[in-house]
Amino acid sequence: MELIEKVVVYPEQSTLNKRIFLSNIDLCLVVYQDNVFFFDSPSSEMSFSEIFNKLCNAFGKLLMHYNFMAGRHVQSLEDSHRFEIDCNDAGIVVIAARTNRKLSEFGDIFAPNQDLEELAMFLQEEQEEEIDLKEKLLLSVQLTQFACGSLALTTHYNHCTLDGLAVRDFGANLAALTRGDFLIVVPFADRTLLRARNPPKISYPHFEYGKATNIENLFSVRGTSSGINVRQNAIQNQIQILYLSPQQIASFKMKAIKDCKLKNVTTFHVVAGKIWKARTIAMNMSDDQVSTMLFPVDIRKRVSPELSYGFAGKDEIHMRIFLTKKCNALVPGFARATVKELTELEDAYHIKKVQEGIERLDNEYIKSSIDWLELNKGVPRREDSFSLVSGLRLGLEDQYFAWGKLKCSTPLTVKPGLVMLLPTAPGDGGLNVCLDLPKDQMYIFRRIMLEF
C-alpha cells in the first residue's frame, strides 16, 4: 500500500463557531466506526487524481452543512463529566492511497474480513493506551485505488456524530456534491430535543443499560473524570460468517407464521429470534442465567415531538430537499429470557419477545431511558448480553458518485459482543450473519441456526 497524498479538508467557508450538546444516547456511542465503500473501475476517463480532487472539494462543501464533523470533542461547559462537540472548523483528513493488489484478491467484500483492514492502513493512529479526545478527528477518510482500477472509500468516524440512517444521508449528500448537484438532505444537528427531563423521571426498569465500568464497552467509554480521555480497544476479533439464502429465510418466516400463529412477522423478527437462541446456547451459559439481546430501534417517529423528516422545499432542478435531525436517534430495544426458556420453549416465544422489545419503545419509555442514563451515567448492557445490528435496509448501494455507482459497503470488522446482519450481492436476496465466535462455538451456532 502506497501513500499518495494526505490533506486536511476544512469547510469551504468558515462556519459559526458553536458547541453542540450531545444527548445521553450520543454519549453511549463515543467510539469509532470503520466502514468501506467499493466502486468498480470508473467508466469515464477520469484519473485517480481528478477523483481525489472531486472528493476533497465535495467534502469542503459538505462540511459547511456538517460543521460538527469538522469539530472536536471537548469537555462540556455545563457538566465536567460530559462531552460536547466544539464546531471549531478544525477539519477532517482525506488520504489518497494506491495498492498493487486487485479488488478480487480481497475476498468477499460483502462481509468483513481481515484483508479489508489494509484499506484503513493510513487511518490508523499510534496505538496509545490513552488518547486525548480534543486532538482526535471526528472523521478521516482513505480513498484507495486497486491495480484493476476499482476504488475503495474507507471512513473512520466517531459514532456519536451520526447513526446508521444519518450516515446514509451523509453519503447521499457527498455523492450529490461530487456530481456537482445540490444537497439531497439538509442536516439539522440540534440534539436538545433528546435532553433528559428536569427533574429526571424513571418510569420503567431499564434492562437494556448497565452502569459503566473500567471494562472496555462495545458502544461507549464515557471517559475519566476529566471527560476527555478514553482507552482504545486492542482486542482482535475472530470473525465468522453464516450465509442465509432467501429460501432459508422464507422457510423460517413460513414456519413462524404457520406454527406460531404470530402476526406482522418480519424477516428481522424471525432471524433475530433464531440468532438469540443459537448464540446463547453456543456460549454455554447455565440454565438459570438471563440472556439479553439488544437491537437498535429508530425512535424518530416514536418520541414527541417527532424527529422525522420535514418537507423544506425544492431547489432549481426540482430535487426534493428534506430537513432531518442529524443525530443518534437509535436506542436499544431488548429481548430478555433465561437460557432454559430459550432452550426449551418454541420459536414463537423468542419471536414474540423480539416484537415486544420493539413495541415497548413509546415516548414515555424512551424519555425514561434517557433520564435513567442521566442519573446513572450508564451504557448499553454488557453482562450476559450481545447486540444485533441490521444493515439490511439502509439503501447505501443506491448512491451515484461522480466516478460511478456504489458497488457495496461493509464494516471493516465486527467488535466483540456484536452480531451484524449484512446484505449480500445485489439480486441474491440472502443475508450474512457476521459475529465473533471461536470455531467450536460457531459450529453449535451454525447447527442451531439451520434447524427447521
pLDDT digits over 393-406, tens only? Answer: 666 677 899 999 99
Which of these, 418, 430, 311, 447, lies nearest to 29 by C-alpha position? 418
- Which residue segment(s) compose the domain that 160 sits in? 2-187
Total-model pTM: 0.88
**Are 434 and 445 spatial neighbours (Cβ–Cβ below 8 Å)?**
no
409 in a domain, yes or no?
A: no
Sheet with 385-390, side-by-side order of all strands? 240-244, 431-435, 418-423, 385-390, 290-298, 330-338
Query: Which are the contacts of 170, defined by CB distance < 8 A and separation ≥ 6?
Result: 62, 66, 162, 187, 326
383 in a domain, yes or no?
A: yes
Taking 90 as the threshold, does the pLDDT of residue 180 lie above it?
yes
192 in a domain, yes or no?
A: no
201 in a domain, yes or no?
A: no
Asked if residue 214 and residue 182 are part of one domain, the reply reads no
Asked if residue 251 and residue 157 are part of one domain, the reply reads no
Asked if residue 247 and residue 155 are part of one domain, the reply reads no
pLDDT, residue 254, reads 86
408 in a domain, yes or no?
A: no
Asked if residue 215 and residue 183 are part of one domain, the reply reads no
pLDDT, residue 452, reads 66
Which pLDDT band holds residue 301 (cuts at 50, 70, 90)? confident
Region 184-191 average pLDDT: 84
Query: Which are the contacts of 236, defined by CB distance < 8 A and separation ≥ 6?
Result: none
Asked if residue 168 and residue 221 are part of one domain, the reply reads no
Q: Which region, left, alpha or beta, applies to residue 149 given φ > 0 means left and ψ of -120 to 50 means alpha?
A: left
322 in a domain, yes or no?
A: yes
Asked if residue 319 and residue 254 are part of one domain, the reply reads yes
Q: Find the helix or strand (DSSP H, E) in which 155 lies.
A: strand 151-158
Taking 70 as the threshold, does the pLDDT of residue 325 lie above it?
no
- Domain endpoint, select from 125, 155, 187: 187
* pLDDT per position as a tens digit, 416-443: 899 999 999 888 889 999 999 999 999 9
pLDDT, residue 410, reads 92
Mean pLDDT of the chain: 85
Asked if residue 326 and residue 444 are part of one domain, the reply reads yes
Distance CA 257, CA 260 (A): 6
pLDDT, residue 326, reads 52
Domain tally, the chain: 2
Asked if residue 443 and residue 298 are part of one domain, the reply reads yes
Count of CA atoms in the C-beta half-sphere (13 A) of 347: 24
CATH code of the domain containing 114: 3.30.559.10
Taking 60 as the threshold, does the pLDDT of residue 113 lie above it?
yes
pLDDT, residue 327, reads 57
Asked if residue 213 and residue 147 are part of one domain, the reply reads no
Q: Which amino acid is at 135?
A: E
Q: Which of 223-232, 247-256, 359-368 has the lowest mean pLDDT?
A: 223-232
* pLDDT per position as a tens digit, 77-110: 888 888 899 999 999 999 999 999 999 999 889 9
